[in-house]
Amino acid sequence: MEQLGLLLIFWYGILHAFGPDHLTAIADFSIGKNKRKTMMITILFALGHGLTLFVFALLLEKYNISETTLGYGDIISSVVILGMGIYLLYMVFTDKIQLKKHIHNGKEHIHIWFGDEHNHSNNDTKSAFTIGALMGIGGVRGMLVTLGFIEGQAVDLTMVLAFSLGVMIIFVGFGSVILYINKNLLNSKQNLKRIFATAGVVSVVVGSNMLLG
């Protein structure tokens, strides 16, 4: 039964990752990033997501949390996605998304950054973990259903690892799609603005639908 329970958690992670809010968040963070950063973003987002669900699952073992309280998690996820969309649209319309090409060791490199000054900080990867953790609150109710199938088993770290692995498989696959976009389409300032504007609009639509749904 233990192996079946872990398999159910793993499968739930896969299904959970296909949510439009999760894929939208991955796209928002990964567009314009290099291969290493894109993979780091997807992995950290999945780990942050799984960690939050693990913590809440432990709390739910000890405390009876009402359906109304759990519903606030969905609101938090919706606001995060909506806020990211508004931020991207603001950066597009204020022309604060920059693109610079240069040749290094005979190969052309493209650098994309927000704001006026270019830097090489790791804020994106740190933020991906934080956003993944915040959005994990919105998946608590779905996790409850899955845990119901394995009632009687104590929630432990292997469960969050199984869930995170399921999420990670989909996120990394979707990250590969974003990498293709980064490599083949983000080659001009005009394309850059179009793609980020599209990502912003999709985020606003998804976040708004979640809030109104």
Residue 94, pLDDT > 90, answer: no
**Average pLDDT for 131-144:** 69
Higher model confidence: residue 125 or residue 92?
92
Higher model confidence: residue 26 or residue 148?
26
Phi, psi of 99 (to 5 degrees): -135, 130
**Average pLDDT for 145-150:** 52
Distance CA 198, CA 114 (A): 16
Per-residue pLDDT of 26-72, as tens digits, reads 887 777 777 788 888 888 888 887 778 777 767 766 776 666 666 67
Structure tokens at 82: 């909506």
**CA triplet 11, 71, 157: central angle to 5 degrees?**
40
- Model pLDDT, residue 1: 45
- Model pLDDT, residue 107: 65
The band of 86, judged by pLDDT with boundaries at 50, 70 and 90, is very high
Mean pLDDT highest for which of 49-53, 99-103, 198-202? 198-202
- Model pLDDT, residue 210: 79
Helices (H) and strands (E) in the chain, counts: 8, 2
Q: Where are the domains of the chain?
A: 2-212
- Model pLDDT, residue 196: 84
Distance CA 76, CA 190 (A): 33
Distance CA 208, CA 141 (A): 20
Using the Cα atoms of residue 116, residue 122, residue 126 and residue 128 in order, give the sign of their dihedral.
positive
**Average pLDDT for 102-125:** 61
Q: Which of 173, 156, 137, 146 has the alpha carbon at shortest distance from 43?
A: 173
Global pTM reads 0.73
Q: Which of 49, 58, 55 has the alpha carbon at shortest distance from 16?
A: 49
Higher model confidence: residue 21 or residue 101?
21
Higher model confidence: residue 105 or residue 169?
169
